[in-house]
Amino acid sequence: QVQIVESGGGLVQPGGSLRLSCAASGFTLDRYSIGWFRQAPGKSREGVSSISAHDGSTYYIDSVKGRFTISRDIAKNTVYLQMNSLKPEDTAVYYCAASYGNSWSVPSFYEYEYWGQGTQVTVSS
C-alpha cells in the first residue's frame, strides 16, 4: 500500500528556515522520483522541485533556486526539502508526490501518481 506523509510545516518569519520531510512507504525511492509542489490560496498547484529516482538529479523552479534544497535518504525512504531565506510569497500548502521512473525537469502535476495530504507553510512576521 502506497503512502506518503509530509511533515515539518509551520509558521516562520521572513528570512527563516524550515525543513519539510516526505516519508514514503509501499515503494522505494530508487524507482520513484519525488516532487514537491505547493498551492497558495486562489492559485493553482505549482511544481517546486524534484529529485530523480535513478541518480538523484535535482530540479528547481527559478523562484526557489539558491534557497531550497531537495535531498533524499534512501535507507529511510524519505525525501527532504530544506527551505532557507523564506519569503511571504512562499506561503502555501506544500505537497509531496511520487512518479514512477526518472525525473528530467521541474515536476509537472500530471506526471505524479501518488500524493501526500500536504503541510502548511506560512511565512509571516
CA–CA gap between residue 53 and residue 62 (Å, rounded): 22
Residue 97: predicted pLDDT: 98
Residue given cell 524519505 in the structure block:
78
* Three-state SS annotation for the chain: CCEEEEECCEEECCCCCEEEEEEEECCCCCCEEEEEEEECCCCCCEEEEEECCCCCCEEECHHHCCCEEEEEECCCCEEEEEECCCCHHHCEEEEEEEEEECCCCCCCHHHCCEECCCEEEEECC
Residue 49: predicted pLDDT: 98
CB 91 within 8 Å of CB 124: yes
Range 102-115 average pLDDT: 91
Residue 109: predicted pLDDT: 87
Task: Considering only residues 19 and 108, tell me which one the structure prediction assigns the higher pLDDT.
Answer: 19
Residue 32: predicted pLDDT: 96
Residue 62: predicted pLDDT: 97
pLDDT per position as a tens digit, 21-76: 999 999 999 999 999 999 999 999 999 999 999 999 999 999 999 999 999 999 99
Give the model's confidence band at 104: pLDDT under 50 very low, under 70 low, under 90 confident, else very high.
Answer: confident
Task: For residue 59, list its beta bridge partners.
Answer: 50
CA–CA gap between residue 79 and residue 99 (Å, rounded): 13
Mean pLDDT, rounded, of the chain: 96
Residue 20: predicted pLDDT: 98
